[in-house]
Structure 1
Amino acid sequence: MSRAAATDPRSVTLTSGAGRWLIVATALGSGIAFLDGSVVNVALPAIGRDLGGGLTTLQWVLDGYLLTLSALLLLGGALGDRYGRRRVFVAGLVLFTVASLVCGLAPGGATLIAARLVQGLGGALLVPGSLALIDAVVRREDRGRAVGTWAGLAGIAAAIGPFLGGWLVDAASWRWVFFINVPIAAVAVAVTLRHVPESREPAGGARLDLSGAAAITVGLTGVVYALIEVPGGGWSSTTVASAVVGVLGLAAFPWAERRAEEPLTPLSMFRSRRFAGTNAVTFLVYTALGGALFLLALQLQQSLGWTALQAGVSLLPFTVLMLLLSRLMGGVSQRTGPRTPMTFGPLVTAAGFLLLTRAVPGADYVSGVLPGVLVFGLGMAITVAPLTATVLASVDEQHVGAASGANNAVSRVASLLAVAVLPLVAGLDTGVDGPLGPGFVTAMEICAGLCAAGGVIAALTVGSAATSRAPGLPGPAALLQPCTPPAPPATPVPSRP
């Protein structure tokens, strides 16, 4: 019998060999997803030059991944509970790795986009599985420290991602930002199979909410396809049908959730004013952040003429601020209540985006880019930890897992829609690979407005009562930049509500 199979779930101590190997496996596994998120955006201009297709192709390179990840993230956690968390985690690793290899070998944009869709599916199995394994295997007394250790180790991947991505693009090829996943994932699979015990919920129980997963997947796919394709190709029978099917799918989602025995997202949670308001703030802030980071990476390279390495390194202050300040702001929120930081943080972020309107051709880094990066990084550091803690404190204990998953899904969907919608609303030409033009400034102004609206909603809905659950360390999902906007920090919650 393997050491993994012999380990008694929920009794592993963090200081034991089994505990240390568990952290290594989960940090490596989730780390490749976070690394991928922080390197791909730096490579987008090089991908565009090599494969063509204009901004539309680049939108799909990002949104293909976010689409399947956003739609299937909650289902991925449920699959692990039912069929085995280690088994689903390893399946996610294998899918993600094979898709990464295909991405790196892709001869054209269509192949790359298809592989990114599969990557998102792998991520939907992999990302929730890492924390679910820790929750299911590590003893309760050590779980908080285990998650903190996991967050710190996996967060290194997000921190070095921009530098590594820029260096790989400049020194070799954009294809290596995908190839780099293969050896890391191979080690993660080997460690997981050797050292991590299997765990699952007792046999039987509620049916998987496949109808809800199908409705949200069809809905998001249809709407996003129309939003991305219409600016370049106009309204055709295909885009009209896509939009109609997408709207019907999104409309069917709440119906499916009300009928499900164990829904992916219990709609009763949204009866809480604080929970609904906090998710509205999440949607607005992460829409702004997702769109801004996507366009900023393009602006620095295509409009200002910077190298991929220069563009990646220029955004490192954002990651550093998140690392240094998020835990501090979580403590402040516990003492003072979340309304002040959740109101002030988005307003500071909005100011940062307004400062980024100076990042235009002819500007240097110190005067044109750094002030904006520092200010919106500070704003996000103020916002993220209180936001996550407030989401968890807004629902009953039995719904904490579902609340965390729903809030993460909201942030992913916000990023997905931002990449699809912001270029259209800002008037960017989606058919060219050159400078973004005046539409970039308009886009930053729109992002500032979204964040300011988020601050106003927080002031009106969140309330000043201190949160009762500590937000803990910010997970590396909160540090994903510059490709994927950060998701709320990972929190040690039950894998199922």
Structure 2
Amino acid sequence: MPKRLWAILTIGLGLTLAVLDGGIANVALPTIARDVHTSPANSIWVVNAYQLAVTVSLLPLSSLGEIYGYKRVYMGGLVLFTLASLASAISTSLPTLIIGRMLQGFGAAGLMSVNSALVRFIYPRRWLGRGVGLNATVGSIASALGPTVASGILSVAPWPWLFAVNVPLGVLGAAIAMRALPETPRSGARFDLVSAGLQAVTFGALLFGVSELGHGDSWARVVLELGAAAVCGFLLVTRQMSRTAPMLPVDLLRIPLFALSVASSISSFIAQAMGQVSMPFLFQHRFGLDQVMTGFLMTPWPLIVAVIAPFTGRLADRYPAGLLGGIGMAVMASGLFAMAMLPAHPGTFDIVWRMCLCGLGFGFFNTPNNRAMITSAPPMRTGGASGMQATARLLGQSTGAAMVALVFTAFPTEGPVAALFIAAGAAAVAACISSSRLAAN
């Protein structure tokens, strides 16, 4: 038990650092743009470089975890993340900062790609739902605290300290991980470099194409990028079909419970991203609220997820994920629909109870769904399942954000409300997919 607690601590610390740095720089982008003498549009690459690096490297790193051990990949990711944080902190130009952030993203991918796989070897099976629930709690709290932590640091120090604070925490986490994390079985397979390249181009081109489609960029460029993603994706899937331990876990997608869990995860995160991206515009543009009040009203969603995640983790050890996830997504769809139907002059309570409903529904879905993805895979393919879990989340979030931009372009005045209606529909689809797992068990 003492060693398990230290292992849980370092896993939680690494996850917190990876999730926080996904959005901690957002608050400081105007200041960063001014200090490095660049435009606001160019400064967004400080955020995009991190997200892109994470997305394209998750599955290759999860494959490396199966080959060389999850502990090694986690340790390598934590060390790289710490050094890249130092490089980002001392950057004095936009190109060097973007390189530092991209390296941070690769390090964060090392942490997130094997995070759930390590949980499977830290906890006994009868407690696995609790472990996944604790992970969800840590991730939700880190996500909720991101803007608050950034504002607190910026109130007493310049923006480089957003990255410098990671250095001592990363060193501490690496020291604990070295002694506490378990050694895991190794597959003995060889790393597929060609598949890694095809996977990077597939997901990178897909995310660029969807993002530019949402922002109304050149149709020729969008078609070229989406075409490249389709061709490379086809070649990737064809190549993976003949492999016993493929990097893109097409073998796991043959397992009905795993495939349905991935599909419901993507749909749920599309709904979550569309809701959380469009709500600030609804609060500020339609209701005339300021940024501080907007942040306060956005807090109940992740807060409720964090509070109930341990509870749903225990339920996930006893009840099917299809039942809990179906109920959760139905509740979330109701909350999003209720948000879209807000009156012209809502009170604080009118908004808060709807946000709580969204958080309650997502909390009931997320932990059981993550547990189902991990446990439905064979033990030797836990790394692939863990990487696919994180990839499904990022793919859903990126697609949802791009869809909001597309909806805002199509409906200039009613964009936030239209996006919330579509988000409710995506959550309803996730509820149907999740419920269908009851027949797959």
Aligned match for 1:75, one of 50, 57, 60: 60
Amino acid at match of 1:182: V
- CA offset at residue 160 of structure 1? 3.8
Amino acid at match of 1:273: P
Q: Which residue of 1 aligns with 2:208?
A: 225
Per the alignment, in what secondary structure is the counterpart of residue 426 of structure 1? helix
1:414 equivalent to 2:393? Answer no
1:321 equivalent to 2:304? Answer yes
Cα deviation, 1:267-294, whole Å, max 9, x if unaligned, reads 2333343332232211111111123223
1:243 equivalent to 2:226? Answer yes
How many angstroms apart in 2 are the aligned matches of 1:79 and 1:90?
12
1:290 equivalent to 2:273? Answer yes
Unaligned runs of 5+ in 1: 1-13, 430-435, 468-497
When structure 1 is superposed on structure 2, of 121-130 and 395-404 the one drifting more is 395-404
- CA offset at residue 15 of structure 1? 2.0
Q: Which residue of 1 aligns with 2:149?
A: 164
- CA offset at residue 448 of structure 1? 1.2
Cα deviation, 1:337-375, whole Å, max 9, x if unaligned, reads 4444322321221222233337899765433x3233111
Q: Which residue of 1 aligns with 2:242?
A: 259
How many angstroms apart in 2 are the aligned matches of 1:274 and 1:153?
24
TM-score where L is the length of structure 2 = 0.80
When structure 1 is superposed on structure 2, of 254-263 and 165-174 the one drifting more is 165-174
The structure with more helix, counted as a fraction of residues: 2
Amino acid at match of 1:417: T
Q: Which residue of 2 aligns with 1:178?
A: 163
Amino acid at match of 2:303: V
Per the alignment, in what secondary structure is the counterpart of residue 427 of structure 1? helix
- CA offset at residue 172 of structure 1? 5.2
When structure 1 is superposed on structure 2, of 298-307 and 91-100 the one drifting more is 298-307
How many angstroms apart in 1 are the aligned matches of 2:304 and 2:89?
32
- CA offset at residue 313 of structure 1? 4.0
Contact kept? 2:80, 2:103, Cα under 8 Å = yes
Q: Which residue of 2 aligns with 1:341?
A: 324
1:356 equivalent to 2:339? Answer yes
How many angstroms apart in 1 are the aligned matches of 2:94 and 2:343?
28
1:452 equivalent to 2:439? Answer no
Cα deviation, 1:199-254, whole Å, max 9, x if unaligned, reads 4656x821113333222210121122233335657327655433322221222221
Per the alignment, in what secondary structure is the counterpart of residue 391 of structure 2? helix
Change (3 A) 1:61 1:300: farther
Unaligned runs of 5+ in 2: none
Contact kept? 1:206, 1:261, Cα under 8 Å = no
Q: How many residues align?
A: 437
Per the alignment, in what secondary structure is the counterpart of residue 409 of structure 2? coil
Over the residues paired in the alignment, what is the CA RMSD in angstroms?
Answer: 4.1
- CA offset at residue 97 of structure 1? 3.0
Per the alignment, in what secondary structure is the counterpart of residue 463 of structure 1? helix
Amino acid at match of 2:357: V
Contact kept? 1:288, 1:418, Cα under 8 Å = yes
Change (3 A) 1:253 1:196: same
Change (3 A) 1:386 1:260: same
Q: Aligned residues: percent identity?
A: 25
Contact kept? 1:27, 1:153, Cα under 8 Å = no
Change (3 A) 1:113 1:251: farther
Change (3 A) 1:107 1:359: farther
TM-score where L is the length of structure 1 = 0.72
Change (3 A) 1:95 1:458: same
1:15 equivalent to 2:2? Answer yes
